[in-house]
Structure formats: structure tokens, C-alpha cells
Amino acid sequence: MGLLSDEALNDLYNSVDYVMMLSKNEGIGLPAIEAACAGAIPVVAAHLATLQEFWVESPLGMHYQLLNSADKIASFIVAIESNPTWKAQIKQDVLAYAHQFFVPKFSREAVARRVIETYQSI
């Protein structure tokens, strides 16, 4: 899709229920973080370093640690889809987690502050 505006990216995240994080080459896993902040359910595979850094303490952390195959990932999504009440609760819990942990850490102000602090420490 190329480069998207913040508004277009937000619209995409708000139009899906899940965002998959399966690639080892995703760095810190920004798509999962952005998805959580928009209310989508991030699905984070067990082999990713980002799991340990950002998701172990999340509402789905214990489930993510079990997602070590395509079959387990599919079963996890089927289980969520088969229980609308649980799905709604997960979305609510993930959004609350994102706003508590990610929004303050990745806000423009927080990132700028860390850049300035790093520059000043040199």
C-alpha cells in the first residue's frame, strides 16, 4: 500500500478485528502496538522478541506464549471468534493496556524527550 497517512492507517486498524505479528523481521512490532492502540486484537507469535519486551504482561500474554504454530494461531482466533463476549472483553482489555503502557511511551512528546536526553548525554 506504500506510505499511508496517519488517518488512513488509523482507518485500516479500526476496520479489522485482528492484526497478525508473525515475522521475526518486524523489530519492536510496531503494527501490533498500533493495532492495540486502535482497538484491534494483536496476535503475537511466541517466537518474537517483541513478545518478551511488550506483550508478556498484556491481557493476552499467557496465550501468546502458546502461539508457536500456524495451527495454534488458527485455533486461538477460532476460540475468540466463537465467544463474542470474550472477544469484546479482549478488545476492551487490550485497548486499556495499550493506553496505559504504549500511548505514554510512544507519544510524540515522550519520543522527543528521549531523543533530546540521548543527544544531551553524548
pLDDT tens sequence for the chain (122 residues) = 678 898 898 889 889 999 998 887 777 888 899 899 988 999 999 988 888 888 989 999 989 999 999 999 999 999 999 999 999 999 999 999 999 998 888 888 988 998 999 999 98
Q: Is 38 helix (H, G, I), strand (E, B) or coil?
A: helix
Q: What pLDDT, on a 0 to 100 scale, did the predictor assign at position 106? A: 81
Q: What pLDDT, on a 0 to 100 scale, did the predictor assign at position 90? A: 95
Q: What pLDDT, on a 0 to 100 scale, did the predictor assign at position 23? A: 81
Q: What pLDDT, on a 0 to 100 scale, did the predictor assign at position 10? A: 84
Q: What pLDDT, on a 0 to 100 scale, did the predictor assign at position 107? A: 84
Is 0.85 topped by the overall pTM? no
Domain 6-121 coded CATH 3.40.50.2000: yes
Residues 6+ away with beta carbon under 8 Å from 55: 29, 32, 42, 44, 61, 64
Q: What pLDDT, on a 0 to 100 scale, did the predictor assign at position 108? A: 85
Q: State the cell numbers at 38.
A: 486502535
Q: What pLDDT, on a 0 to 100 scale, did the predictor assign at position 6? A: 85
Q: What pLDDT, on a 0 to 100 scale, did the predictor assign at position 96? A: 95
Q: What pLDDT, on a 0 to 100 scale, did the predictor assign at position 1? A: 65
